[in-house]
Amino acid sequence: MKKTVYIDLDNTLADYLGMCDEMHISPAEAKHTVGFFRKLRPMPGAVEAYDKLNEHFNVYILSTGPWSNPHSLCEKVEWVKEHLPSAYKNIIFSHHKDLNRGDYLIDDSEKNGAKEFVGTHVKIHSPEFPDWNSVIRYIFEKENIWTFDSKGELLITIMSSLAQEESRSISENITWGQRKRFSDGKVSM
């Protein structure tokens, strides 16, 4: 049975603070702004990390919505449909993240029950987990999920290149042989 991973949306999957800077508004003001959540861009590596996790775990997006901006919930669903289309039926909204049971919670905050989550709270953007690569590496190592290291990936790249070159060489040899037989008047059908 697959283990369960919950991932926060704001400033974990989606760049909340970056959009605040771009729009020249405070984070407190942003959460009350209609249309704000729809404009967020994915955090670097977030979409790829979601896809990797989704291959091995049951993954749910676990987010809160400000009470003062009911539009935020719809905007977050629309954001997920655009950037993570396979996840839009796996969205949970709660101000009490600790009520959800699972193995991992990836969140940039300890608020809304994240600190009390029963399971492993992976606090992204912390010194221990500064980015998505460190999060994936930690969870995959803890779960003994084997992925290629850079040496393995390099070896696969080299082997693929050699196989492609061999295939090209065989194709050229066959083409040369057919042309040679044709020029010698030995046409076969």
The tokens 């992976």 sit on which residue? 122
d(CA 124, CA 88): 22
Contact status, residue 100 vs residue 6, Cβ threshold 8 Å: yes
Beta bridge mates, 62: 92
Catalytic residues: 8, 10
Instruction: Give whole-number Cα distances, 35 to 44, 61, 89, in Å.
Output: 22, 20, 21
Q: What span, in angstroms and rounded, lies between the C-alpha atoms of 53 and 139?
A: 9
The amino acid sitting at 145 is I
